[in-house]
Structure formats: C-alpha cells, structure tokens
Amino acid sequence: MSELHPALAAFAAERSSAFTALVGIEFAAIERGLCTLRLPIDDKHFNSTGRVHGGVVFTLLDSAMGASAFSVLEPHESTATIECKINYTRAVTGGVLECTGKVMHAGTRTIVVDGEVWQDGVLVAKCLGTFARI
C-alpha cells in the first residue's frame, strides 16, 4: 500500500476530527479505497421520537466515505462531497453502528463511493456519493 494522504494519516493518528469527536465517531480501520468507522449510540444522538436522528447516520456515512475518498488522492489534493443519495432501512434505538466507505471509481475529477451502516448484522443505511478531487 502506498503512503496515506497527509490529512488521512493525521486522521488515523488522531482517530477523529473535532466534529467527528463531537459526534462520538471512532476510527476503526483505513486502507487504500476503504475506511471503517464505528459509533456507539449515546443519548445525544436521539431525535424527539426516541430514534437515532437520520443526520447522525448520514454524518457517519459521509465521514467514512470521505475518508475512503481521501485514501486514493495525491498528497497535494483534497476532496469535498458533491452529492449523496441515502436509503435508511432500519430505525436505530441504541447499540453500536459500524460504517464502511468503499471507493467504487476514482476518476481524474470525481470519486464515486459506496457506503453502508450496519448494526448487529443488519443493514441500517445504504449510500452512494460523489466526491470532488480538489
């Protein structure tokens, strides 16, 4: 495997950014084109109906997918989310979520990434996103 992008190496060393730390996202693994993150559900993640807010699940996906996009960039490049389409397949009321972001295509201008969130072997959300090479 080639050397990690400097921003990704810092992420892996620190295990989070300030925002992911605020949410409670934990770094699990990173390799070229693939990132895995975890999120232990806490009281702060719930909406008014007693379920985990969809924005929390999306934040987990965007973070894992963005990190996997970073893993295929050149050291002078950065990335930003252009678009994402998400399907929520299960309401979450507690436990631990595991999320993977996997690069499906790394072009010269955009990167297409697939994301999934699982809980206890059950799919919680599925996402497809496009990230810009900057």
Count CA atoms closer than 13 A to 25's CA, side-chain side.
29
User: Residue ranges of the domains in the chain?
Assistant: 6-133
CATH dotted code for 6-133: 3.10.129.10
Q: Are 129 and 65 in contact (CB under 8 A)?
A: yes
In the predicted structure, residue 1 carries a pLDDT above the cut 50: no
Structure tokens at 99: 């999320």
Q: Give CA–CA dist 117/38, Å, rounded.
A: 9
Question: pLDDT tens-digit profile of 62-116?
Answer: 999 999 998 899 888 999 999 999 999 999 999 999 999 999 999 999 999 999 9
Question: pLDDT tens-digit profile of 30-58?
Answer: 889 999 999 999 999 999 999 999 999 99
Report pLDDT for 11.
61
Q: Please state whether the predicted TM-score (pTM) of the whole model is above 0.95.
A: no
Q: Are 14 and 30 in contact (CB under 8 A)?
A: no
Question: pLDDT tens-digit profile of 6-30?
Answer: 666 666 665 467 898 899 999 888 8
Q: Read off the DSSP letter of residue 48.
A: T
Q: Are 88 and 126 in contact (CB under 8 A)?
A: no
